[in-house]
Amino acid sequence: MRKISFRFFFVWLLGISLLFLSGCWSRREIEDLGITVGLALDKGDVTQVEQKLKEHGGGYPKKDKITVTYQVVNPQAAGGEGKGGASQQRPYTNISETGDSMLQNTREISLRRDRPITGGHFKIIVIGEDLARTISMQQYLDFFIRDNEFRPSALVFISKGLASKTLELEDPSQIPSFNLLGITDNENRTNRLLPPMPLMKLIGKMHSKSSFLLQNVISADKETKFAGAGVILGKSNKLVGFLNEVELEGLVWITGKGKGGMVKCFDKETGKLLVYEISSMKSKIEPHVIGDNIFFEVKIESKGILSEHWMMKEKAFENEFLKRVEKVTETEVKRLVQETLVKIQKNYQADVAGFGDQLRIKYPKVWDKVKKDWDTTFSKVPVKFSVDVTIKEYGTTGSEKTK
């Protein structure tokens, strides 16, 4: 009798609990979502499609300040297959809207597409040069920071040209936003990549009024490349110029944040090519204060491999030859660093290498006096630097001289 009562009670309890299960009441099929994976922000320029829609009465009160290009995944093309086992459609669609409100631009897409914009899979933002030079980033990025639908982990880039062009690729099988995201993982292959800049980290940079860098993306014939960096001035949060690829290389040596890469140089005696492959690098920025005078010492150290040399008459394993290569490499690194220092100190007057951070840590009272106009002060501060390169490997060749 007790067993029967227990079973009845258990079944009754189970039935009652089912009433409180909501299930997937808010479920939306993936095909019904406008999954946005990338954004391009450019200075306002109404597209041909927008212009034609306006001519047919599809306008609303606005100022054409910013053109936003949304990259939306086409789930059917991305996951489906056509003839020959490959999709016959591109796995993404780019759609642009011009206006003066980020929110309104986003909502306008709901009048043009059956799948409204959703930012849960948001990966990247690319900002065009013309927009970055004229309007503070804090103004047009504020919406994406406030809206909890857009992911703060999204990476931010800048483009020397139209940002919307970086969201196009010739290869129909790739999604451009994912391609840009993937390139950032190649830090161990080159020292011309900056550490990724997520939107969340960028918020702190903008609020602190510190100058900073954004990785530059260029586009040509629907191919993209990371080429240098944009210099953002802390006071205005606007773009003031660019570091080219070589200057960015010098900046990475100053900060010591590189994870790989190479140094190409030439032997002074023979003019032959030498290539030093970086295994590790580190840098120490040491501030000094004497009276009212501030100066810095930068000590750079690196260990690596002699990966390539065209001096066939030399023995790669001989200590004398390796020391010679080390000195040539050190000279080249010093040249890179010196050129970059001139660019950021004299041309842009922007501390994008973290000198001010080190001064703040070691001399907080001095920092309190100079932080208000640090970029200008930094432009006049002497910087000395030293470079120490050690070759720890030279490969498997070089045991005999070429006759």
Q: How many CB atoms lie within 10 A of CB 286?
A: 12
Whether 336 contacts 246, CB under 8 Å = yes
Q: How many CB atoms lie within 10 A of CB 62?
A: 15
pLDDT tens, the chain, 403 aa long: 455 566 666 666 776 766 665 555 444 554 555 689 999 999 999 999 999 998 899 888 999 999 999 999 987 665 554 444 455 678 999 999 999 998 898 889 888 888 888 777 889 999 999 999 999 999 999 988 887 778 889 999 999 999 999 999 999 889 999 999 999 999 999 999 999 999 999 999 999 999 999 999 999 999 999 999 999 999 999 999 999 999 999 999 999 999 999 999 998 888 899 999 999 999 999 999 999 999 999 999 999 999 888 776 655 567 888 899 999 999 999 999 999 999 999 999 999 999 999 999 999 999 999 999 999 999 999 999 999 999 998 755 544 443 3
How far CA 316 is from CA of 65, 155, 168, 310, in Å, comes to: 60, 43, 46, 11
- pTM of this prediction? 0.86
Catalogue the E-assigned strands of 90-211. Answer: 92-99, 117-118, 124-128, 155-159
d(CA 356, CA 358): 5
Catalogue the E-assigned strands of 198-272. Answer: 212-220, 223-233, 238-243, 262-266
User: Residues for the chain: how many in total?
Assistant: 403
